[in-house]
Each structure stands twice: as structure tokens, then as C-alpha cells.
Structure 1
Amino acid sequence: MSPTRLGQNQYGKAETRVVHVTREGRTHHVRDLNVSVALSGAMDEVHYSGSNANVLPTDTTKNTVFAFAKQYGIDSAEQFGIRLARHFVTSQDAIERARIRIEEYAWDRITDEHSFVRGGRETRTAEVAYDGTHWQVVSGLKDLVVMNSTDSEFWGFVKDPYTTLPETRDRVLATEVAARWRFGWTREEDPAPRWEESYAEVRRHLLEAFAGTYSLSLQQTLYAMGERVVEHRPEIDEVRLSLPNKHHFLVDLEPFGLVNDTPDSAVYFAADRPYGLIEGTVLREGAEPRIPVTD
């Protein structure tokens, strides 16, 4: 008898870039997605003996992404992921679970017709999992860079022999928001959320909470952002946030005979690393955490 056994496993095609252009005469609409498919189920034999009898080729999953974009269009990242996950689980007996991860890239119009420029916005994300009975949909965004040039303090923290950071009653607070939020919707027979509306509203609440919180710590700001989403969006049970602290340090200008940080202006050095990384989850009361801390 072998001293080993197979554990959790999955396979699929990662990062299929699909750009769908909808044409309404000379007016075009673009959806630009990066789709990753992961499938799992009765896959023991392909690992133990190399038998591919239950294996749907990853090339087929790639082709399915393109074909479904053409056949059904892309109403939203979430709905497209749901359609793909349902197809893989219900069309193949050996596949018991499908996970679809999607990043969406924004394009802004140059003209009213068919010229676009890549938006300098965040990247939208979506992850859909389906086991044949229940759904789990986790939407999100990343690379959303925000900054408050004031209304942030940091003081009263623990000090030990290695502490050199001075306390401050006024600082720049900047971060690059990565957020994921899990929907309470899990059953096909229940009405699904309005994905596009939900994304826009969650993004709005994240930004408004960041801007509207007088911050004594980035942790406080993180909780305020997640709390606002859960309180205002009943379809969402869990929000996980990762907020790197994009440190801005006042530049010492005294060698040049200049006084920095005057009432009318200040000059900062924006350091990219190392950086503080603040992460946390905000849950609806009674909900269990299900978004993984790491992939």
C-alpha cells in the first residue's frame, strides 16, 4: 500500500483574454475580460495512472469562454462566470465543482462611437464557484488608488527600543484598495443580485467611506469602508479588504533653506516599499467568514 494519497486538486485554463465588442451601428460597446477556469471532481485516475477519461481539455475550456462570449454576450462579469460554471458542472459528469475568476478592464470613450482609451481605473474582479447545488459569488476590485491629503492622524501607539516613527496629528493617508465581497445568494431558485448595480454601489460606498472617515488609523478606515458596504447593500454578507499604506514622508528641505509643511503647502516623498499592509474582514452579523485570506 502506498504511503501517500491524493489531496485537493483542480485544473483548468488560466487567463483567457476575451474582448467582446457589441456593435450598434457605428456605436460600439466593449467588455474586456481576463477569465480563469478551475475544475475539480472525479480526477483521481488521471493523477494515479494518467488516464484522461474524465479530463475535459483545458483548451476546451478556453474555447468555451470565447464561444459563450459570442453566443450570449457579456452582461456582467458575474453573470458570465455563472453561465460558465453552470455549463462545466452540468455538462460533465466527472466535474463536481467549477471556479471562475474574472478580471475586467475598463475602456473609456474618446468619441461617441468606436474609439476608446484604456481607463485609468481599478480592475474589477469576480470569482464564481458552483458545486451543482449551491453558488458562491465573490466580486471585487483591485488597484483602486485613493488618497486623503489631511484628516488623518497616527499617535498613541506602542513604543519599544526600536521605535523611531514620530507621532503625527496630521498626515497624508494613501492606499491602493483591494476589496472582495461575498454575496448571500447561493441558490438558483432565489432571485440573483443585480450584478452591475451592485458593483457600482459597492465601489461608491467604499470611496465615500474612505473620504468621509476622519482616520486615527488605517484599521479604523478599513472597518468603516467594510461596515458601510454591509450596512447599505443587503445582498452582501462579507467584505474583505487589503489596504497597503502608501507612506508619504515630509521631505527635509532645510539644507536648501526652505521650510516644508507650511500652511499653504507641503512636499512629500511617496515611498513604494516597504509598506504597512492592513487587512481585515467585515461580516454581517450571523454570517460566517468564507472569503479566503490568501489564494
Structure 2
Amino acid sequence: MAVILGPNRYGKAETRVVRVVRDGGVHHIKDVNVSSALSGDMDEAHLSGDNTAILPTDTQKNTAYAFARKYGVDQIEDFALLLARHYVSSQPAVHHARVEIEEYFWDRIPVQGPSGERHSFVRSGREVRTCVVHHDRDGTTTVLSGLKDLVVLNSTGSEFHGFAVDEYTTLQPVTDRILATEVSAAWRHVSDGSPFGKSYSEVRRCLLEAFAETHSLSLQQTLYAMGKRVLETRGEICEVRLAMPNKHHFPVDLTPFGLDNPDEVFYAADRPYGLIEGAVLDDDAPAARFAWE
């Protein structure tokens, strides 16, 4: 039996960077989590312990901090591109860089400080903006933008019936139910020159509008409608991938208390839950060269 080294990469995970921009008495915050992973001509680190080709993960952490100071952090995709290109261009052994960034949102508290300054914020919701950038030595770049933890709910306008039944099926068909989910979405840009900020806002709007406007016969149908709306509306996007758990809401039986329940009182089940995943893509778009993960 021959033993060989397979695909490998290494990097620094979850470098938390908070960048404060002081515009006089008005402050602005960017709160991001940066993870980098490098691969290339570095097999000897595994095979013989020779670290000549290894840029320390601590250096990758420091680079994220230094670049935040030197260049600022505006759109997370642009910051990820900056880091990925730096690693590939500055290190001969690095042939491919993957940079993933999460952004956490803060809302300004509309109250001035004691001297009239505006420097107070409150963390907004659970939604997280995401991106993954892949950059190769040959110049090939893929930009994946996205979001996660976007919780949405339709209190009506959802059905589920006509499904397959076997000896273990107990679920009853319904023609009116609550449809709730926590959207994780990623979308692939046609090029690395998109106006990422506007694109993010518009894709998010498309996802929410399609969710609200679709009379759903299944969460699968809603997923496809959301991805389709993005592709039909935003020409800079060629593929959308969605993961949507079905956050079940079940009517509570109030008959033991002499009360009816005309679909007004529910309990939200934590687990188990259905998990619906799928990709919607432009059939004319080039195939993604790099893995989505």
C-alpha cells in the first residue's frame, strides 16, 4: 500500500477585527471576523517538518489587523480580495488563497454623548453578512457573497399536502400553516468587480420580497422562487445557493382548558427540523472553478 499526502491547506481562523473610523464627533464601526487558508507548494511541512514554505498563521492574523489600519474596511468582499491577492503575490509557495469574512451589524443609538458626539451603538439583530473569496496564482478569482441567520416568517400563505406516504407517515396535510425559516444564502458574482455594497442590499431585498410574495406549497418551492428572483433581477449574479431549515410552528391543543384555537396560539419547535437546501443558477454561466465550501 502506498501512502501519499492528499489536498491540504492551513490558515488563521476567526481573527476578529473591529475598525473604528472617527469622523470628527461621529464614529463609524466595521465589525468583522476574518479567516484565511493558504495552499500550494508546501507538502514538505507535512512530510518532513520543513517549514520553509509556511507563512505562520500568526502572521496572517497580523496582516488582517495591519491591512485594516492601512486600507480600512469598507465592503468585506473588497477587503477579502485585498488579503487573498497579497498572500498569493507575496509568497512564492502560496498558489491559492481562500479568505472568508463575516460582518456583524451595529445600529447607531440616536442619542448624543455629553459633548454632542455620536459614538454609541447597539448590535442589530442576528443577521450576519458573509463572503468567501478564492484567488489563484493564475489570476482566477471567485467571489461569493452571502448572509446567514436571516429569520423570516409568513403567518399564512403556506400549504403542504400531496406528499409521499408510507407506513411511518403521521404528518397530516395542511392548507394553511405558518412558514418560518432561517435563511443562509450565498451568491456567486460574474466578476470580481461588482459594486458589492449595493449588490448585497439588492440581493437581500430580492430574497425577502420573493419569500413574502410566494404562496408556498412547499419550502422547496419558496427556495427556488427566492433564488430565481435574484437571478432575474441582478445581472451581476450567476448562481445562488440556499439552506433553509423549516422552523416548525404547531397549533397548541387548548381543548383541555375549554378553549378553541382557530390557529392563533402556536408553539415553536426547536428540533428536529426539516432542512431544505438547493442551488439556483444561470444555465449559461461558467462553472464555478473553486469549491463553495
TM-score after normalising by structure 1: 0.94
Shift of 1:289: 5.4
- Cα deviation digits, residues 68-97 of structure 1 (max 9, x gap): 000000111100000000000000100000
SS at 1:9 equivalent: coil
Mapped partners of 2:3, 2:98: distance in 1? 27
Distance of aligned partners of 1:256 and 1:293 in 2 relative to their CA distance in 1, 3 Å threshold: farther
- 8 Å CA contact retained: 1:123, 1:141: yes
Mapped partners of 1:27, 1:65: distance in 2? 25
Mapped partners of 2:70, 2:48: distance in 1? 37
Mapped partners of 1:91, 1:289: distance in 2? 28
Equivalent in the alignment of 1:272: 270
- 8 Å CA contact retained: 2:130, 2:147: yes
Shift of 1:286: 1.9
Shift of 1:290: 3.4
- 8 Å CA contact retained: 1:283, 1:289: no
Mapped partners of 1:290, 1:279: distance in 2? 18
Mapped partners of 1:119, 1:127: distance in 2? 22
* Mapped pair 1:98 → 2:97: yes
* Mapped pair 1:219 → 2:224: no
RMSD of the alignment, in Å?
1.5
Mapped partners of 2:143, 2:25: distance in 1? 35
Mapped partners of 1:152, 1:205: distance in 2? 19
SS at 1:207 equivalent: helix
- 8 Å CA contact retained: 2:142, 2:290: no
Task: In structure 2, list runs of 5 or more residues that go unmatched.
Answer: 112-117
Equivalent in the alignment of 2:21: 22
Moved over 6 A (4+): 291-294
- Cα deviation digits, residues 36-63 of structure 1 (max 9, x gap): 0000010111111101111101000000
- 8 Å CA contact retained: 2:130, 2:146: yes
Distance of aligned partners of 1:226 and 1:289 in 2 relative to their CA distance in 1, 3 Å threshold: farther
Equivalent in the alignment of 1:198: 199
- Cα deviation digits, residues 180-213 of structure 1 (max 9, x gap): 0011115xxxxx1000000010001000000010
* Mapped pair 1:256 → 2:257: yes
Equivalent in the alignment of 2:285: 287
Equivalent in the alignment of 1:35: 34
- 8 Å CA contact retained: 2:134, 2:290: no
Mapped partners of 1:289, 1:104: distance in 2? 27
Range with greater deviation from structure 2 (40-49 or 105-114): 105-114
Range with greater deviation from structure 2 (170-179 or 113-122): 113-122
Distance of aligned partners of 1:204 and 1:141 in 2 relative to their CA distance in 1, 3 Å threshold: same
TM-score after normalising by structure 2: 0.95
Equivalent in the alignment of 2:125: 120
SS at 1:202 equivalent: helix
Shift of 1:14: 0.2
Range with greater deviation from structure 2 (9-18 or 107-116): 107-116
- 8 Å CA contact retained: 1:238, 1:289: no
Mapped partners of 2:207, 2:288: distance in 1? 20
Shift of 1:280: 0.4
- Cα deviation digits, residues 140-174 of structure 1 (max 9, x gap): 10000000000001111111111111111100000
Matches within 5 A, 1:10-159: 10-111=9-110, 113-132=118-137, 133-159=139-165
Shift of 1:293: 8.5
Distance of aligned partners of 1:14 and 1:54 in 2 relative to their CA distance in 1, 3 Å threshold: same
Matches within 5 A, 1:175-186: 175-185=181-191
Matches within 5 A, 1:226-245: 226-245=227-246
Mapped partners of 2:89, 2:288: distance in 1? 24
SS at 1:162 equivalent: coil
Equivalent in the alignment of 2:115: none
Equivalent in the alignment of 2:114: none
Distance of aligned partners of 1:55 and 1:293 in 2 relative to their CA distance in 1, 3 Å threshold: closer
Task: In structure 1, list runs of 5 or more residues that go unmatched.
Answer: 187-191
Aligned residues: 286
